[in-house]
Chains A and B, each alone.
Chain A
Amino acid sequence: MSYYCDKYVITEKKTLAKEIYSFTVSCPEAAHAAHVGQFANIAADGFTLRRPISICGIDREKGTLRFVFEVRGKGTAEIARANEGDTLDILGPLGNGFRIPEGKKIIVVGGGIGVPPMLGISAKTGALCTAILGFRSYDKVILDDEFRANDSNTIVCTEDGSVGVKGFVTVPLAEELAKGETEAVFACGPEAMIKAVIKLCEEHNVPCQVSLEQRMGCGVGACVVCSCLTVRNGKEYYSRVCKDGPVFNAEEVRFNG
C-alpha cells in the first residue's frame, strides 16, 4: 500500500446537493495506487488536523480521484471553498479498501454521506450490484443517477418518504436478502444503520464488510486515536480505523461503548 502527500489540482468541482460537493483531482500516482473503499486525509487551511474523506471514484486512465463530501464543520467548509484550478493538499490513498468478490451478486448499503464510497463498488460490479441508498429527504439525495448509470439495481430510501421508499434502508435490504441470491453486503453510513445492516446480514448468513468513521489524527496509523473496538481470535482490542480499516469485516467490529 503506497500513499502520497502533495498538492494536486482540482479539475472539476460540482455541487451535488446543499453543502455536498464533488471534487475531481488530478493525482496520477495516488489514483494508480488507490483501491475502492480507501480514503484520503485532506488539509484545510488554518486547521491543525486534516479531514478524512472517502474516495468516491478512481480513474486510473485519467489519473484522477474523486471525492464527495459534506460540509460538517469549519474544516470541511474551508476545503469546500476551493475551486477548479486550485490545489488540494492530499495525503493518500490511505487505509484498507473493500474486498469485492468477482462475478457474484452483491448489495451495497449507503446512508447519507456514506453513499459516496459505495459508488466505486457499483462501478466495478455493475448489474451484479444492488444499491440501497438512504437519505434524510429528497434534497439530500446524491449520486443515485450514477449508480443507475452503472446498471446497478438502485433503490433510494428517504426517511420522510419525499422520494423513493419511505423509511430506513433495512426494509429493502431485508427483502433483497430474503431472495437468497446475495453473496456479500457492503455498508457505510451512520452507526445505527451499520449495526442494523450487520444484524440482518447475520440473520441471513451473508458476509458483510463495513466502512467506519472515527475522529482521526494522522491517518497513517501513527497516533492511534481513531480507534474502533474489534475482536480477533476471541480477544478484544482497539484497531485503528485509518490503518487497519476503514473497512472491517462485520464480525470483527464491536463498536465503542
Chain B
Amino acid sequence: MADLSVRIAGVEFPNPVIAASGTYGNGECYTELYPLSRLGGVSCKGMTIEPKMGNVPPRIAETPSGILNSVGLQNIGVHGFVEYYLPTLKEEGNVIIANVAGAVLDDYIAAAEVLDASDVDMIELNISCPNVKAGGATWGVTKEGAAAVTHAVRKATKKPLIVKLTPNVTDITEIARAVEAEGADSISLINTLLGMRIDINSRRPILHNNVGGLSGPAVFPVAVRMVWQCYKAVHIPIIGMGGISTWEDAVEMILAGASAVQIGTAIFKDPYSPLKVIDGLSEYMDKNGIRSVSELVGQVKPW
C-alpha cells in the first residue's frame, strides 16, 4: 500500500486531502456520512476577530461547471470558533486549519493571537476573499499588501502559517515570492475567481453582492497553471485547490506542484468526493509503483 502521508510545515497529514474553507463548515456538517478522521485535514470556515453577519442573499448562482458565491465571511468570530468548534474538531479530526480573514492589519493580528494560544494545528491566512468590500482580497492583490499582512501575522504567531492566494492578479508568482520572503511556511491556491451573472429578465445580478467568487471544475485549469507557476517560483510547499472533483484532478494538481490538495465545491454534489480522491490516489500510486506522494509533487514533464 502506498504511503499517503504528507508533511507540510512540520505538520503531518495522514493523507493529502483537505476539505477547503467555506465548503465544510467547521467540520460538523458531514459527520452523518463519515468521520472527520478520514480526511487529511479540514480548513475551517473563514473567521474574523469579531462575528460577521455576511452578505445579503442570494449568495449563490450556478454557472457552467461551477458556482459563484458571495457569502461575505459570515462567521461566529475567532473566540466562538475556539470555544464551540475547536474541541470537537481536535477530538474527531486530523489536521485542523483555521482560515483567518480581516479588513485591517490589526484584525488579522488579533485573530492570529487568539489562535496562537489555541489548539489549532495551522493558520491559513485568507488574503483573497473576493466577497468583502473592505479587506480580504485588497491585501492579496499587491505584493506589498501580501507582504505586509504576512509579516504582521508571522510576528503574532508561531503556528505554521499558510497564506491563501487570490488568482485575481496579473502575476501570482510575485505575490507567492513576497509571502515566502515574509516567513509563510506554505501557500495555498487558488481562491475563487471574481465573476458575475445577470438575470436577463429582471436585469439584476443573480448575486445580491453583484459579483462573487467562481469555483468548481470551471476554474480547475487556471488553478493547475497557477500552482505550476508558483511551484517554480517558491521553495515552500503548496496546497493546491480550485475545481478538484476527482482523484485524477488531484494527481494532476500534485504533478503541477501541490504537496496536498483541498477539495471544496465538489463536496456539494458528492459529499464522498474527498474519500474517492483518497482511494483513487492510493490505487494510482500502487499501480504505478509510487511509494510516497512526495515522489509525484511537481513531476509534470513540461514540453
Contact = CB atoms under 8 A, between A and B. Distances in A.
Interface of A: 2-5, 43, 47-50, 75, 91, 214-228, 236-238, 243, 256-257
Question: Helix, strand, loop or mixed for chain B's interface?
Answer: loop
B268 interface: yes
Given A223-B71, A224-B45, A225-B59, 10 more contacts: A47-B62, A48-B65, A48-B66, A50-B269, A217-B67, A218-B267, A218-B268, A222-B29, A225-B57, A238-B54
A3 B265 CA distance: 20
A223 B216 contact: no
Contact of B30 (A2, A222, A224, A225): A222
Interface in B243-289: 265, 267-272
B33 interface: yes
A3 B65 CA distance: 26
Nearest to A3: B32
Interface in B1-40: 22-25, 28-30, 32-33
Contact of A48 (B23, B45, B217, B271): B217
Contacts of B32: 2-4, 220
Given A50-B269, A217-B268, A238-B54, A222 B24 contact: yes
B208 A217 contact: no
A223 B69 contact: yes
Contact of A43 (B65, B69, B269): B269
A220 B30 contact: yes
B22 A215 contact: no
Nearest to B268: A218
Interface in B58-114: 58-63, 65-67, 69, 71, 74
Contacts of B53: 236-238
Contacts of A2: 32
A223 B22 contact: yes
A48 B67 contact: yes
Contacts of A50: 268-269
Contacts of B23: 218, 222-223
B56 interface: yes
Given A220-B29, A222-B25, A222-B30, A215 B271 contact: no
Nearest to B61: A215
Contacts of B269: 43, 47-50
Contacts, number: 104
A221 B29 CA distance: 6
5 contacts: A217-B60, A220-B32, A222-B25, A224-B45, A226-B59
A8 to B, nearest CB: 15
A254 to B, nearest CB: 12
B283 to A, nearest CB: 22
Contacts of B66: 48
A219 B206 CA distance: 19
Contact of B74 (A3, A5, A91, A238): A238
Nearest to A221: B29
A220 B53 CA distance: 19
B60 A215 contact: yes
Contacts of B24: 222
B132 to A, nearest CB: 14
B59 to A, nearest CB: 4
Contacts of B22: 223-224
A227 B59 CA distance: 8
B268 A224 contact: no
A228 to B, nearest CB: 7
A218 to B, nearest CB: 5
Nearest to B71: A224
A48 to B, nearest CB: 5
Residue from A50, A215, A217, A225 whose CB has the most chain B CB atoms within 10 Å:
A225
B57 A226 contact: yes
Contacts of B217: 48
Nearest to B217: A48
B265 A48 contact: yes
A80 B110 CA distance: 51
Given A2-B32, A222-B30, A238-B54, A49 B45 contact: no
Interface string B205-216: 010100000001
